Amino acid sequence: RVLSLELNKDRDVERIHGSGINTLDIEPVEGRYMLSGGSDGVIVLYDLENLSRKPSYTCKALCSVGRSHPDVHRFSVETVQWYPHDTGMFTSSSFDKTLKIWDTQTLQAADVFHFEGTVYSHHMSPVATKHCLIAVGTKSPRVQLCDLKSGSCSHILQGHRQEVLAVSWSPRHEYVLATASADNRVKLWDVRRASGCLTTLDQHNGEKSKASSEAASTAHNGRVNGLCYTHDGLHLLTIGTDDRMRLWNSSTGENTLVNYGKVCNESRKGLKFTVSCGCNPEFAFVPYGSTIAVYTVFTGELVTMLRGHYSTVYCCVFQPNFQELYSGSKDCNILAWIPSLRESVPDDISEK
């Protein structure tokens, strides 16, 4: 199904945003509701289900936090995420230096966390049962952990030297967090440990640093602005402004040396890419200019380029129940990429 993804002529997503769409998230409970966040601070909530039962339909926007809403973000929304356990709550973070916790029913901000700098990325663990920490990457090199239960930013992880562009909790271990920074580094942390950092990923697997004067390990030769775990949490994909994507063994921290070729990436901020779920082989969907490049995760093969947006693609999100993909772009559109169903071959016997 993934190999036959195409821009669907029968499915539209209602166009609400008047500016670029930076971030999308589909809730993991039913896989039915999607959030989008725009460069003008607007957040929209869509129902992806086809209620009309007609083959051709538009995914309706159910509600939105528009420019006139009292709690609207003042600047660009960079990340939206559903609360992983139910659809009653979602989170958003923005260049206005805030992270907001929203009540879905009332569409009001139930809590607001303030930071000293621009917020590039935040993430809640999809599997945590013992903690309610939201990891936040900001202009500061310190990674902040905000506790939903106490409402305080209780915890700080120190080790990066420049701004933190992407953060992601492991889908396998609830206390393990990956962070990517403009200092070319990716760090893995166990948030229970006082020292924090478990390992700093090294693209040379320890080979080069012995000889070179540059002793500190780097994951990329450029800013690392994207992170994505595979669904089993055994591997981690990273993407950097050195036009490279790398696949790491998340338990050993080893670079698996899969070669994806040149993965053009000029983003000045976090890049939101994603992986498939429940497919064999697994695929990575990476915004690539005005297209989306689809790679096989473990062989590095570029399978196809999905073309349809008129401008830079900022984000994409995978819907695992039906193997669908949704993408958001600077062109203000959200596009639905649906597996094309082959025409059924007429059955001779039934005709007779």
Is the Cβ–Cβ distance between 315 and 24 less than 8 Å?
A: yes
Q: Is the pTM of this model over 0.85?
A: yes
Q: Which residues pair with 7 in a beta bridge?
A: 337
Written as six digits, the tokens of 312 are 């830079």
Structural domains of the chain, with CATH: 2-339 (2.130.10.10)
The label of the residue with tokens 């990273």 reads 238
pLDDT in tens, the chain (352 residues): 899 999 988 899 999 999 999 999 999 999 999 999 999 999 999 999 988 888 889 999 999 999 999 999 999 999 999 999 999 999 999 999 999 999 999 999 999 999 999 999 999 999 999 999 999 999 999 999 999 888 888 789 999 999 999 999 999 999 999 999 999 999 999 999 877 789 999 999 988 655 555 567 899 999 999 999 999 999 999 999 999 999 999 999 999 999 999 998 888 888 999 999 988 899 999 999 999 999 999 999 999 999 999 999 999 999 999 999 999 999 999 999 999 876 655 555 555 5
Distance CA 215, CA 86 (A): 45
Helix (H) or strand (E) holding 350: helix 348-351
Rounded to 5°, the CA angle 272-132-80 comes to 25
Written as six digits, the tokens of 154 are 């209780």
Distance CA 215, CA 121 (A): 28
- What pLDDT score does 342 carry? 65
Nearest CA-CA partner of 73 in 65, 81, 82, 62? 65
- What pLDDT score does 155 carry? 85
Residue positions counted in the chain:
352
Nearest CA-CA partner of 162 in 142, 177, 178, 179? 142
Written as six digits, the tokens of 291 are 């297209």
